[in-house]
Structure 1
Amino acid sequence: MDRRLFLRLFASATSGAMVIPNALSASTTRNKDSFHHENKVIFIQLNGGNDGLNTFIPYEDPLYYELRKTIAIPKEKLINRSNGIAFHPALKELANISQNGDLSLIQNVGYPNPNRSHFRSREIWQTASDSNEYITDGWLGRYLDHQYGDHSLSGINIDKTENLALKSEQINNITIKDLTRLHKSIQGTSKLVLSNNPQLDFVRKISYASAEGSKEISQALKKSQYSTGSYPNSALGNNLKWISKLVKSTLSTDVFYTSIGGFDTHRNQLFMHQRKLKEVNDAVYALYEDLKRDGFIENTTIVLFSEFGRRVKENGSGTDHGTAGPMVIIGGNNKGQIIGGNPNLRDLDHGDLKYQIDFRSVYASLLKDKLNFNPTLLDIQQNPLKGLF
């Protein structure tokens, strides 16, 4: 059986908290003086195709209200207006982060020949491929292979499913479904006992290594001198709370990933989108405040993105799949700017926004400026985005 497939099946059959064996060793921890000054990147994926035009609203363009008679956000409800762009009223705390100079908004992000399929567009974003190119490993997985090989816990995905962005040739990252259950799963762990049956011993070794990995994470969290702030009682809030604990622990992990669904707003968009944006706003602000309080926000970059935007014209009560959309960067000493022009509603590609900034140029900037890595080694040829960091 394929090793990676076996590990996935094994993890699903055990505690519900997947831990890849051999990814955790003594080399995965570091002392307090060294880890505090290293950069980390947290990715938050908005699944379903977030409507960027109703997230950061081009309120000065009359076409916005003409093309969205039902779902347009009234001007009097908008917040944080600047240069023709305003925040959705559900993003009150993100607007505060922007006022603090810790949030950069990147407009019109996409790629050539866009694909409107959720599955395929996510695959393009997660592998950093061209729209007609198919790559089996994720862009972050390739980075981890280059940088860490098979000897370090360098990437953690806290989610219900694995993420293609972290898929790699080596075993250097894990997907954890529930850290609370992971803690419980290590209780009563016994010593490794082998037999004369190679197949049985293989299973026992995996079980033992998984439990030892759980212990390693638990011990790292216990060693942390930092408390965790107050988080909203939501799936995203819980995931970000655990990510904060891990960022502030002694684990030598550079990359964290999680996601939130519900952004496929074909109908009833005003209510659905407001609810999802508030969930993101509350959870991300709690993470920001938590990391800022303990002095981690300057070395931690939070990235929010979706696989595509929505159509410019509403369909009656919602919007259909589109192309370009915004990305948000928080922390990491970003320059707190709006990068790229406001969405041009007069120059469309068959009813969709034309992309202005290739998402891979954002990746290149994160790799170069935050992870000290040459993006061309991952076949990312786009130049790093200027003005971000």
Structure 2
Amino acid sequence: MRHSRRDFLRTCLHGALGGAGACSALGSLGLLNAAVAAGRGSLFPDYKALVCVFLHGGNDSFNTVVPRDASHHAVYAASRGALALPQNDLIALQPLADGLPGDSAQYGLHPQMPELAGLFNNGQAAVVANVGTLVRPTTQAQYIAGSVPLPPQLFSHEDQAIIWQTSRPDDGNASGWGGRIADLMHSGNPNQQQSMLVSLESQALFQRGDVVNQYVMSSYGVEEIGYLDAWNNDAGIAAFNALRQQGTQAHVFERAYAGALNSAIANYQAIGAALNTAGDVATVFPVSRLGRQLHMVARLIKARNVLNLRRQIFFVSLGGFDTHGSQQAVHPGLLGDLSRSLKAFHDATVELNLGSNVTAFTASDFGRTVSINGDGTDHGWGGHHFVVGGAVRGQRFYGRMPSLAQSGNPDDAGYGQLIPTLSVDQYAATLARWFGLGEGGIDDILPNLGNFASRDLGFLTL
């Protein structure tokens, strides 16, 4: 994929400068200490990858994972009115005895999600219930009284998406928790020149580190600077290459600019060559934006040995979940795409004999309201999420499924916005621990984790 010189330079310089700051968000670690910490340790003996699938707009998880027994479905249907899914259309989830949803209900997935239901029932996927942004555990009474600190700007798309990706409600300038994991673990990769952070969605806040810069590419391949291959431009190319030669710039910003450009060129050349060498996977992916992104992630994982990387974190996304209206027309297609794409991706990891080495997980701005506004739902708070992979202790629910009652609901913050009972910190810590980050590092990247009783939700085998 080719870009103009101006666009390319803007992208690569933004990535280089945006990944570092004078102050780190690693709790008590400053930027220098983070760099020192990252420089210690030995190489990882195995390969692992985390894949964040961000659902932009706030997925209506209460029409994604739906009660299907008669009594609980009746409560759901009374709250959901015209948006309620018919009981007989739901695809049954069959949890193990030690992974029941905690409310005596039976659940099913949206009828457009047979692939994800199959992964759950075969033990390769789990539901993590009612996760959301929290500073500390919060009850309805505490929320009403204002007696506990709350994340700022609740129910705001931008603010809640930021907090989901940083897990730092106390710091609006924090780096992403994926980036902070990389800051503390990148030294375990044999290849120190190649970033372990790859975003398929431009610059992702989740991937922004203080030591490690994310590499941004498209689902079609690396983003190259076409200027260097322009026909009949020998003099221009020679001048351009002279300007970027190391050590020839007088000003510090010129040197930073040239360094960012040279790093970006070296990265896309290395990744492009590795993709060509490794070749494609045989698994067929959906021809959708998310399908293409996850297909490219599978190809990058296949190229891991060529790149000499043993830890990688990827960010992909699917938009369109802000369903204030026309939800019945929009939401089923989005869920179907998510289901098919996650199934294809898991199949590709199995094809690569890495089914237990790669974990994909969903995230979103927030859940949506249990109440409806006619033909849509409004901004909520807590929501359900999926974790997929061979290392997942699947066929289980983690956490307690909330009440979906329209009135007298102890989980309701008001207007059908359900208070989370699991925090993003707990979700992130469980993933980071499986990825190989030690307990001290987990505390550094998630300073609010100590406010919660459980540090590990148990949905991954170590």
Q: TM-score range by the shorter chain?
A: 0.7 to 0.9
Structure 1 pair 246/258, CA: closer, same or farther in 2 (3 Å)? same
SS in 2 for 1:270: helix
SS in 2 for 1:89: coil
- Please state if 1:63 is matched with 2:70: no
Deviations 1:130-170 (A, max 9, x none): 3x5434211222222222378541110111x3111122222
- Partner of residue 339, structure 1: 398
Of 301-310 and 195-204, the range deviating more from structure 2: 195-204
Deviations 1:301-352 (A, max 9, x none): 0011212111111111111011110111000411111112222123222122
**Cα distance in structure 1, aligned partners of 2:176 and 2:276:** 31
User: What's the CA shift for 1:207?
Assistant: 3.5
SS in 2 for 1:14: helix
- Partner of residue 7, structure 2: 13
- Partner of residue 385, structure 1: 456
Supply the AA of the counterpart residue of 1:14: F
Asked whether the equivalents of residues 194 and 267 of structure 2 are also in contact (C-alpha less than 8 Å), the reply is no
In the alignment, structure 1 segments of 5+ residues that lack a partner are 1-8, 24-33
- Please state if 1:266 is matched with 2:324: yes
- Please state if 1:349 is matched with 2:398: no
TM-score of the pair, normalised by structure 1 = 0.85
Asked whether the equivalents of residues 8 and 224 of structure 2 are also in contact (C-alpha less than 8 Å), the reply is no
- Partner of residue 94, structure 1: 116
User: What's the CA shift for 1:222?
Assistant: 2.8
Asked whether the equivalents of residues 44 and 259 of structure 1 are also in contact (C-alpha less than 8 Å), the reply is yes
Deviations 1:226-264 (A, max 9, x none): 624211111111111101111111232520011111000
- Please state if 1:124 is matched with 2:146: no
Supply the AA of the counterpart residue of 1:167: R
Runs of 4+ in 1 over 6 A off after TM superposition: 9-12
Structure 1 pair 299/119, CA: closer, same or farther in 2 (3 Å)? same
- 1:44 is aligned, of 46, 53, 63, to 53
Structure 1 pair 204/365, CA: closer, same or farther in 2 (3 Å)? closer
Of 215-224 and 51-60, the range deviating more from structure 2: 215-224
Deviations 1:30-58 (A, max 9, x none): xxxx9893111000000101001100002
Supply the AA of the counterpart residue of 1:88: H
- Partner of residue 174, structure 2: 136
- Partner of residue 29, structure 1: none
- Partner of residue 358, structure 2: 300
**Cα distance in structure 2, aligned partners of 1:95 and 1:74:** 17
Of 350-359 and 233-242, the range deviating more from structure 2: 350-359
Asked whether the equivalents of residues 108 and 340 of structure 1 are also in contact (C-alpha less than 8 Å), the reply is yes
* Superposition pairs of residues 365-376 of structure 1, within 5 angstroms: 365-374=430-439, 375-376=442-443
Of 336-345 and 14-23, the range deviating more from structure 2: 14-23
* Superposition pairs of residues 1-389 of structure 1, within 5 angstroms: 13-14=7-8, 18=12, 37-60=46-69, 61=72, 62-82=74-94, 83-112=105-134, 113=150, 115-130=154-169, 132-148=170-186, 151-159=193-201, 161-180=202-221, 182=223, 185=226, 188=229, 192-194=241-243, 198=250, 203=257, 205-224=259-278, 227-250=281-304, 251=307, 252=309, 253-336=311-394, 337-345=396-404, 346-347=409-410, 348-350=412-414, 351-374=416-439, 375-378=442-445, 379=447, 380-381=449-450, 382=452, 383-389=454-460
User: What's the CA shift for 1:219?
Assistant: 2.1
Structure 1 pair 224/17, CA: closer, same or farther in 2 (3 Å)? farther
Supply the AA of the counterpart residue of 2:155: R
**Cα distance in structure 1, aligned partners of 2:338 and 2:268:** 28
SS in 2 for 1:45: strand
**Cα distance in structure 2, aligned partners of 1:304 and 1:35:** 26
TM-score of the pair, normalised by structure 2 = 0.72
Asked whether the equivalents of residues 132 and 382 of structure 2 are also in contact (C-alpha less than 8 Å), the reply is yes
**Cα distance in structure 1, aligned partners of 2:90 and 2:365:** 25
SS in 2 for 1:193: helix
Structure 1 pair 292/230, CA: closer, same or farther in 2 (3 Å)? same
Asked whether the equivalents of residues 183 and 218 of structure 1 are also in contact (C-alpha less than 8 Å), the reply is no
Backbone CA RMSD of aligned residues: 3.0
In the alignment, structure 2 segments of 5+ residues that lack a partner are 20-42, 95-104, 135-149, 231-236
Structure 1 pair 111/136, CA: closer, same or farther in 2 (3 Å)? closer
Supply the AA of the counterpart residue of 1:147: M
User: What's the CA shift for 1:103?
Assistant: 0.2
Deviations 1:68-121 (A, max 9, x none): 110000011111244511100111111111122000101111133351000010
Of 210-219 and 255-264, the range deviating more from structure 2: 210-219
